[in-house]
Amino acid sequence: MAHRHPIRRGRGLSHARRGLTVGTAGRLVQPRDSSRAAEPPKAPSEGPVRTCVGCRGRASRSVLVRVAVVDGVAVFDAAKTLPGRGAWLHPGDDCLELALRRRTIGRALRAPDVDLSALAVR
């Protein structure tokens, strides 16, 4: 039977030429790579990891500062326990300036009309 799909006709290599083998139940499988079998287990992470909304860098939750919304105003959450959605920033002023310039705090909090005046650069 001829190929019905005009784009796929005659493209690519057969599974044997791609290095695939037929495994159980007729599925094509990659041959085992012995170099990957001896990978050491990954080290446990140092607690939860969050993304800074200013620089988009990833860091531990204990390193970042949380911003939350209280009565329509964005405030720093020093205890990291205020209810609702939070945005995370590095403690330096440069990440706060980036986040304010890019308007990412309101987006991360899913409150685009939030008052950001309380977060003025110290």
- DSSP state for residue 64 in the 8-state scheme: S
CB-count exposure of residue 30 (10 Å: 0-12, 13-18, 19+):
exposed
Residues of the domain holding 90:
49-119
- Write down the pLDDT at residue 86: 96
Number of structural domains in the chain: 1
**pLDDT at 26 exceeding the cut of 90:** no
Question: For 36-40, what is the mean pLDDT?
Answer: 58
How many other C-beta atoms can be found within 10 angstroms of the C-beta atom of residue 21? 12
List, in sequence order, the alpha helices (H) in the chain.
93-102, 104-108
Calculate the average pLDDT of the chain. 81
Query: Could you tell me if residue 8 is inside a domain?
Result: no
pTM (whole model) above 0.75: no
Query: Could you tell me if residue 28 is inside a domain?
Result: no
**pLDDT at 52 exceeding the cut of 80:** yes
94 close to 75: Cβ distance less than 8 angstroms: no
Q: How far apart are CA 46 and CA 60, in angstroms?
A: 7
Question: For 89-114, what is the mean pLDDT?
Answer: 94
> Token pair 């200013």 is at which residue?
54
Q: How far apart are CA 27 and CA 44, in angstroms?
A: 35
* CATH number of the structural domain spanning residue 60: 3.30.1230.10
- Write down the pLDDT at residue 76: 95
Q: Which residue has the higher pLDDT, 3 or 87?
A: 87
